[in-house]
Amino acid sequence: MTDRSRFIATLFLSSALVACGGGGDSGTTTPTTPVANTNNAPTVASAMPDQSGDVGYDLSIDVTQNGATFSDADGDTLTLNISFDRDVGLSAGNGTISGTPNAAGDVIVTVRASDPSGASVTDSFTLSVGINQDAILSTFGANIDLAALADYANQPVPDYIGPALVNGNPVTDKGATLGRVLFYDRNLSIDNSIACASCHVQANGFSDLATVSNGVGSGETGRHSMRLINGGFGHDGPGGGASTQFWDQRAATHAEQETMPIQDANEHGFSGQNGAPDFDDLITKLEGIDYYEELFRFTFLDPDITEARIGQALAQFTKSIQSFDSRFDDGLAQTGNINANFPNFTAQENQGKNNFRGQGTGLNCSACHQPPEFTIQTGPNRGHNGVVGDAQDPLGFDFTNTRSPSLRDLVDANGQLNGPLMHDGSLPTIRAMLDHYSNIPTPGGEPARTQFLNTLDPRLRDGNQAEQFNLTDAEKDAIEAFLRTLSGSNVYTDPKWSDPF
């Protein structure tokens, strides 16, 4: 047989074996290998360039670049998953990043494209979130930098101080920064002459040395301007407490209180009365000031200026004003026991601390001004303290005052009184205040006498007359010496509470 004949025969045999498939007893067959389906993974066709945005400004980013970022040789439909290395308030869906950034800094965005077989590829880019504050830096210079905020929200507070008063409006660095600008801005008065800080002066414990404060035109405040020290702390209770504001507690919260002076005809003047501008006019005025658009966008993530937001920001600033670096705080930190003699106190100061708390005298100041906050204890069945003068009428009476500031920082760091005491500014010294409590005067005529006794705080009433505690001069001297230990120093100079203009 020739070689050609052998090749043809062999080829025929092989074909026959394949044809019979090795079935039955015909012999062993060699199985065929199926051809595998190959899948091409998606690829990055055009990497996404880095992006940028600003806090408070809406953004929308198409991570597919209109379909150009990824490609797939098989024509598969790709599924995208978008992730961020930190949360700045953005969301992702359908290949788009959207939202309003709430914090500055770089965000690494990772986009994973997957085909139906599970093969995938990733592309990453950086989203740089900045802060638009050109007008702020132009106006305030180094006094305000939104990229380096002062610490308002996390200031150190001694463990023995009760929790801060939140009322749905916690202090934030952003909100308090806006509040600081509003607090010192004379644009908040109808003639650009008065700011909140005109009546609440940092050097005077955020009070006023005058009996009453000047407002727009020839207007005056109806009462003495209350000190704002530690207004964010105190003792809340049923029917009132440290949350209520003004001497007569007519505002339920700090935020509610903040815009009332602005709408007072004699203070900031935006009353809407007798042809005067109203609060809407103030909002229009502020909308025309470029640094407020930047501040409101940064704080609230949009530029809308409302009365509620103004109140919230002012309240956050004023609640942030705190003073816990007094000699009293040093003594309590050393002993951990208010009943113990403080090693940093004189004998007279320790005696005054005891007298203040009702030890050795009939007068227990702490029943109304509870340490260590020394804020007023208000609530049901409380009343005035026997000081019932009308700051605007020497012959009038005002029986409605049941609130007071904390007794901390009655004097400044140099020992000077931070302004006259009481709602009517009628007591010019601490000694005059102690004289009042020692022998509380009662009006002699009617109906003033009956009104006085009916509205006097029960803690100061003895039957049908005011309590007479009859303090000795030595007891008064000791209590005054103690009260002077309640003043700090930082609150008078800290830049974060100072005028930014």
Task: Answer whether the bond into residue 372 is a cis peptide, omega within 30°.
Answer: yes
Question: Model-level pTM?
Answer: 0.89
The pLDDT of 373-384, averaged and rounded, is 85
**Tokens at residue 371, please?**
């340490």
Amino acid at 456: L
CB 270 within 8 A of CB 278: yes
Q: What distance in Å separates the CA atoms of residue 184 and residue 171, rounded to the nearest whole number?
A: 18
Identify whether the C-beta of residue 189 lies closer than 8 Å to the C-beta of residue 164: no
Contact 356, 445 (CB under 8 A): no
Cβ neighbours around 354 below 10 Å, total: 17
Task: Give me the count of residues in the chain.
Answer: 501
Instruction: State residue 1's pLDDT score.
Output: 41
- Mean pLDDT, to the nearest integer, of 372-397? 91
Mean pLDDT of the chain: 92
**Cα dist. 335→78, 226, 338 in Å?**
68, 32, 8
pLDDT attached to residue 32: 56
Q: What are the pLDDT digits (tens) for 254-266?
A: 999 999 999 999 9
- DSSP per residue over 163-202, as a string? PP--TT----HHHHHHHHHHHH-GGGSTTS---HHHHSBG
Q: How many CB atoms lie within 10 A of CB 191?
A: 10
- Amino acid 380: pLDDT: 72
What is residue 455's three-state secondary structure?
A: helix
3 state DSSP class of 334? helix
Is pLDDT at 148 greater than 70 in this prediction?
yes
The per-residue pLDDT for range 111-137, each reduced to its tens digit, is: 999 999 999 999 999 999 999 999 999
List the one residue out of 449, 466, 448 whose CA is nearest residue 458. 466
> Please, are residues 322 and 232 in contact by the beta-carbon 8 Å criterion?
yes
Task: Tell me what pLDDT residue 6 has.
Answer: 36
Task: For residues 112 and 42, give the distance between their C-alpha atoms in angstroms, rounded to a whole number.
Answer: 10
Confidence of residue 33 (pLDDT cuts 50, 70, 90): low
The string of pLDDT tens digits covering residues 193-222 is: 999 999 999 999 999 999 999 999 999 999
Is the distance from CB of 207 to CB of 419 less than 8 angstroms? Answer: yes
Q: Is the pLDDT of residue 189 over 90?
A: yes
Task: Quickly list H helices, 238-326.
Answer: 254-258, 279-287, 290-300, 307-320
| Strands 369-370 and 79-84, sheet pairing | unpaired
Is residue 30 scored above 90 in pLDDT?
Answer: no
Beta bridge partners of 384: 456
Q: From CA 264, how far away is CA 271, in angstroms rounded?
A: 5
- Tokens 């132009």 — which residue? 138
DSSP 8-class letter at 439:
B
pLDDT at 22: 37
Nearest-5° Cα angle at 403, 402 to 406:
145
Q: How much is the pLDDT for 379?
A: 72
The residue with greater pLDDT, 57 or 237, is 57
Yes or no: say if 318 and 480 are a contact pair by the CB < 8 Å rule: no
Helix/strand/coil for 397? strand
Q: Tokens 């931070």 map to which residue?
A: 418
Average pLDDT over residues 35-56: 92
User: Is pLDDT above 60 for 361?
Assistant: yes
Closest CA relative to residue 263, chosen from 253, 250, 247, 276: 276
Contact 296, 313 (CB under 8 A): no
Segment 395-416 shows an average pLDDT of 96
pLDDT at 117: 96
Joined tokens for residue 98: 């959207």
Q: Check whether 2 has a pLDDT greater than 90.
A: no
CA distances from 280 to 283, 306, 308, 484, 489 (A): 5, 9, 12, 44, 39
Sequential DSSP letters for 458-478 = GGGEETTEE-B----HHHHHH
Q: How confident is the model at residue 8 (pLDDT cuts 50, 70, 90)?
A: very low
- Where do we find the tokens 């500055």? 104
Give rounded-to-5 percent helix, strand, coil for the chain.
30, 15, 55
What is the per-residue DSSP string for 77-126? PPEEEEEESS-SSEEEETTEEEE---S-EEEEEEEEEE-TTS-EEEEEEE
Q: Is 8 helix (H, G, I), strand (E, B) or coil?
A: helix
pLDDT at 377 over 90: no
pLDDT in tens, 422-437: 999 999 999 999 999 9
- CA-CA distance, 279 to 270, in Å (whole number)? 6
**Per-residue model confidence (pLDDT) at position 5:** 38
Residue 28 has pLDDT above 80, yes or no: no
Domains, the chain, in order of start with CATH, read 43-130 (2.60.40.10), 135-323 (1.10.760.10), 327-492 (1.10.760)
Edge-to-edge strands, sheet with 59-62:
59-62, 96-99, 90-93
Segments in 248-405 forming alpha helices (H): 254-258, 279-287, 290-300, 307-320, 327-335, 347-356
- Angle between helix axes 307-320 and 173-184 (nearest 10 degrees) is 100
